[in-house]
Amino acid sequence: MHRRGAHDTLARVYASPVVTSHRPHHEPSAGRVRRIRRALLGWYADHGSDVPWRSAEGEPGDPYAALVAAVCAQQTPMVRVVPLYERWMAAFPTIAAAARATRAEALRIWGNAGYPRRAGALCDASRRVVGDHGGILPRESASLLALPGVGPFTAAVVRCFGYGEQVSIVDVNVVRVLGRVLLGELEPAASLPPARINDLAEQMLPPGEAARWNPALMDLGAAVCRARPRCDVCVLARFCVARPRITRGESATTLPRQPPYEGSDRQWRGRILRVLREHSGSGACPWLTVRTLVARLVAKPEERARVRRLLDVLVVEGLAWRIGARCGLGEAPQGATSQE
Ligand code: SF4
């Protein structure tokens, strides 16, 4: 297998549906299910991503590696997941190492990968596993879901790739592929209830093949059945209920667009964390004054209040600290008192 640089998002949160579909349901026959499975697994053998955390051929892998990979993949394109995963695993190769990491260390390793709360959640989950489960990630869904930052997608990834369990993994790519191929929906995430997709995912899972089937679906959704589908090169085209609609020129329901990143609070949060991270990693004093932070970030006076407000939000979220006039990355170190 070779590594493909998938350009789509691996694991955006599967949003609740906003429209209920009234299209007839196309229940796949046993023969059709078999043919779809065979075609997709054949395609995956030649075109699937070769990523470090996926166990081979159903062999149990490393549950911690699977947890890290799944958290890294949340709302992040695959092209950025692999370097982030490798950086994290190099810094914290075991769950015990992640449990010992300070918030500042974790955030430095996370860098500018986005959604930095995930770094804190990984450390918190690791501490919980060390404290409550003897350092062994639980295998059961309910115990995994009780860990910080672990939702159904992450729990399924740990169970499938970490423990070799025969469970289906549902991310936004899987929703799109199954909803289009089996039900003819053009934008299934917007039109189908999650329970319906979960049923289909369970129905399609080939016995004993979860470790190949799940990534095959995810990869097809990332590389071929994208928001703008590439039906002409799709291995499932001859089975796909949606394809005639797409050929007729129908286009997918437009999902609400994300607000622009440029100038957003998200961008400013990233800038604040970057300054705190660089300062924290410089080997100098672990804090800087809020005034210095503001001065490094803004040229316009009207933006100062925004930086201070967002710093306060980061403090509440545990990503930064502020005591009096001082601030820094992660949790406050000893000695960071309120003197000026
Ligand atoms: S034929 Fe087109 S719509 Fe159907 S699964 Fe393939 S890429 Fe997606």
| Structure-model confidence comparison of residues 214 and 252, the more confident one | 214
H helix intervals, the chain: 30-47, 63-73, 78-91, 95-100, 103-110, 117-133, 141-145, 152-157, 163, 172-183, 188-191, 194-204, 210-223, 243-247, 265-280, 290-297, 304-316
The stretch 3-32 carries a mean pLDDT of 48
For the ranges 46-55, 114-123, 164-173, the lowest mean pLDDT is seen at 46-55
Query: What percentage of residues in the chain have a pLDDT greater than 90?
Result: 66
Å from CA of 239 to ligand 1 middle? 9
pLDDT surpasses 60 at 17:
no
Determine the pLDDT at residue 1: 39
Any atom of ligand 1 within 6 Å of the Cβ of 222:
no
Determine the pLDDT at residue 245: 94
54-99, pLDDT tens digit by residue? 654 445 689 999 999 999 998 888 788 999 999 999 999 999 999 9
pLDDT surpasses 60 at 18:
no
Dihedral class, residue 114 (left if φ above 0, else alpha if ψ from -120 to 50, else beta): left
Contacts 24+ apart (CB under 8 A), 253-261: 253/19, 253/186, 253/187, 253/190, 253/191, 254/187, 255/187, 255/189, 255/190
Determine the pLDDT at residue 280: 84
| Structure-model confidence comparison of residues 338 and 179, the more confident one | 179
Determine the pLDDT at residue 214: 95
Instruction: Tell which atom from ligand 1 comes closest to the C-alpha of 224.
Output: 7
Determine the pLDDT at residue 256: 60
Residue nearest to atom 1 of ligand 1 (CA): 237
Determine the pLDDT at residue 217: 96
pLDDT surpasses 60 at 165:
yes
Determine the pLDDT at residue 23: 44
Any atom of ligand 1 within 6 Å of the Cβ of 236:
yes
- Mutate which of 246, 250, 251 for ligand 1 pocket (most atoms within 8 A of beta carbon): 246
Å from CA of 138 to ligand 1 middle? 36
Bridge partners of residue 295, in order along the sequence: none
For the ranges 49-63, 136-150, 163-177, 220-234, the lowest mean pLDDT is seen at 49-63
Based on its alpha-carbon atoms, the radius of gyration of the chain, rounded to whole angstroms, reads 22
Query: What percentage of residues in the chain have a pLDDT greater than 70?
Result: 86
Any atom of ligand 1 within 6 Å of the Cβ of 130:
no
**Structural domains in the chain, sorted by start:** 30-48+169-247 (1.10.1670.10), 63-162 (1.10.340.30), 265-329 (1.10.10)
For the ranges 71-85, 143-157, 225-239, the lowest mean pLDDT is seen at 71-85
- Mutate which of 173, 177, 204 for ligand 1 pocket (most atoms within 8 A of beta carbon): 177
- Mutate which of 174, 185, 240 for ligand 1 pocket (most atoms within 8 A of beta carbon): 240
Average predicted confidence (pLDDT) for the chain: 86
Determine the pLDDT at residue 191: 84
- Mutate which of 233, 235, 239, 243 for ligand 1 pocket (most atoms within 8 A of beta carbon): 243
pLDDT surpasses 50 at 28:
yes
The stretch 200-217 carries a mean pLDDT of 95
Any atom of ligand 1 within 6 Å of the Cβ of 235:
no
Instruction: Tell which atom from ligand 1 comes closest to the C-alpha of 176.
Output: 8
The stretch 28-48 carries a mean pLDDT of 93
Å from CA of 169 to ligand 1 middle? 19
Residue nearest to atom 4 of ligand 1 (CA): 240
Å from CA of 55 to ligand 1 middle? 27
pLDDT surpasses 80 at 101:
yes
Residue 300: band (very low, low, confident or very high) from pLDDT cuts 50, 70, 90: confident
pTM of the shown model: 0.83
